[in-house]
Structure 1
């Protein structure tokens, strides 16, 4: 059941208060998605929008920003819409889609007690579950991961979406947090759009086995790369990619 969670700089509806607190700290306090070269009115893609915390943050920092936010899990998408309405945010388009290299319908493993970990790659979450057991005990891990559901969700190529939004001249910021499908999101960009992307920040886990491919792809597209291990768990990395404007 959704509850309103209050923070220092914002508030939002969430089904997991603990997860909302974690995401808030990551974005608002730790600044994991901060980049230095954004214009006053950036065009932003939020891939893996979850309940909308990143979009709220960007509108807080850049009130004139325009955002397209993608969230495929139906319940989470409902909370995303609810939070955007709560703050009366303009110029944020929320779409009930995931992003991939090919348009399709796939099975999403949805964790109702830990919705931010919902994934198209459930085999990776088994490893995360075992890590949670080792760290906090099986009872606590089961409380977080129990009740998983298989949901049909629609996936679309990012370039197909961008083709229906012809007014933008560049993609100032592409944020990706998609629980193992990061490379799929990037492969959904056509060459005609790659040249318009100025900044990318994404989270990836070494268990996904795609970090080297992601970094090689970004370098091949002309980006300067910075990769840092995240502080919350071993093996998670934040990759920042930018190019001069």
Structure 2
């Protein structure tokens, strides 16, 4: 899926339909209006909403599928549910669409990355990279300040991800490797109907046969959809072995989506984890034979990470229910039982120092990287707190270098604050 970050990346001679009658869609419309091109946007589309939005008609998915002509109209997804929308469009026979990413809001992240020492990069591990280019959360990071290592056991998918990442201009290398706590051979359970659900754990059909997933144009009971499964033997590797074999000196952040194997993969990276600044990993919130959120939480905290937030909560309905609440307007938000989520863990040196912990390893570079990662995951106030704390820490160490680094952090925070005030002035306290 092609990603755009502004209207100027679209063909200038055709109209525009924005899929997503919400905040992201409204902001994209404002970008067109700021360029004097507001008239190009003729309509919105939305999975659940109808009527009008910002004075423009909102069409349902069914109507869009019947009326869309890629020769006359550019279709742009502007929604946090872009992956679901993309799947629905593809199922309906539309593949000519792009996704809009609003990178303007990541003010401090960009400034912090640009302030890193020459040659220094924010290094991210993307474990479970099948949909890497559909969720390029690294877009706000300046290209010359980013390096990503991906892991996808399907060699063909790995090649595809590498090709797509290259086309996007990303420094991204995907390895056809399955990660685990030790090197061994395990069975990978693959469901052809839902290839992204492939797991090293067996599927729990007692649960799946109860769960219903609903979208705009279809709904299905998970157990029936996943009835056809094949198992293939797969050799696993540990993160620590991969790191040593590939001479990877630094890893700053790990994001994981490997269908239950996240905790075992992290256990295979015990030597790597002390330098890592943050984790975002899929967890199960129901007892389906995979490690639970509680297990991940205990492990992450034992390694010095602090829980900050949940991302991408996944909810299911019930196959025997006569209602499909997920399709009911104004009732659908978080409809059903939460079965999966992505907890965010970050280092918190401010707390560590307050509790008498060792913060001698925190220098200007680590502080800048953690501040960038914090804002990237919507922890904006924590990012500003880090810069203030870091400036005090470096100044207290004494010397000309410490004073200069402290002054640099304060100047960066002041610049970011001014840009935030300029962009969001109405939200500042008077």
- Structure scoring higher RCO (CA < 8 A, sep ≥ 6) equals 1
Residues 20-49 of structure 1, C-alpha deviations (whole Å, 9 max, x = no match): 98xxxxx98799xx9x87962211111111
Q: CA deviation at 1:81?
A: 2.9
Runs of 4 or more above 4 Å deviation: 5-11, 27-31, 36-39
TM normalised by structure 1 equals 0.74
- Partners of 2:180 and 2:267 within 8 A in 1: yes
Q: CA deviation at 1:77?
A: 2.5
User: For the residues of structure 2 that align with 1:20 and 1:240, how far apart are their CA atoms?
Assistant: 30
Gap regions ≥5 residues in structure 1: 22-26
Size of the aligned set, in residue pairs, is 225
User: For the residues of structure 2 that align with 1:8 and 1:54, how far apart are their CA atoms?
Assistant: 12
Q: 2:340 aligns with which of 231, 236, 245?
A: 236
Q: In the alignment, what sits opposite 1:204?
A: 283
User: For the residues of structure 2 that align with 1:223 and 1:198, how far apart are their CA atoms?
Assistant: 8
Counting only pairs closer than 5 Å after superposition, residues 188-227 of structure 1 correspond to structure 2 as: 188-190=268-270, 192-207=271-286, 208-227=290-309
> Which stretch of structure 1 is more off in the superposition, 221-230 or 158-167?
221-230
Residues 125-167 of structure 1, C-alpha deviations (whole Å, 9 max, x = no match): 66345413799345x864x435432222221100111113435
User: For the residues of structure 2 that align with 1:20 and 1:46, how far apart are their CA atoms?
Assistant: 26
Q: 1:119 aligns with which of 193, 199, 203?
A: 199
- Partners of 1:48 and 1:176 within 8 A in 2: yes
Residues 43-96 of structure 1, C-alpha deviations (whole Å, 9 max, x = no match): 11111111323774325634131111000124432432332243343x322111
Gap regions ≥5 residues in structure 2: 10-75, 77-82, 91-98, 114-120, 316-337, 350-366, 368-430
TM normalised by structure 2 equals 0.45
- Partners of 1:129 and 1:145 within 8 A in 2: no
Q: CA deviation at 1:227?
A: 4.6
Q: In the alignment, what sits opposite 2:87?
A: 18
Residues 174-217 of structure 1, C-alpha deviations (whole Å, 9 max, x = no match): 00111011110110012x32211111111111232432121111
User: For the residues of structure 1 that align with 2:175 and 2:248, how far apart are their CA atoms?
Assistant: 18
User: CA RMSD for the aligned pairs?
Assistant: 3.7
Residue 87 in structure 1 maps to residue 87 in structure 2: no
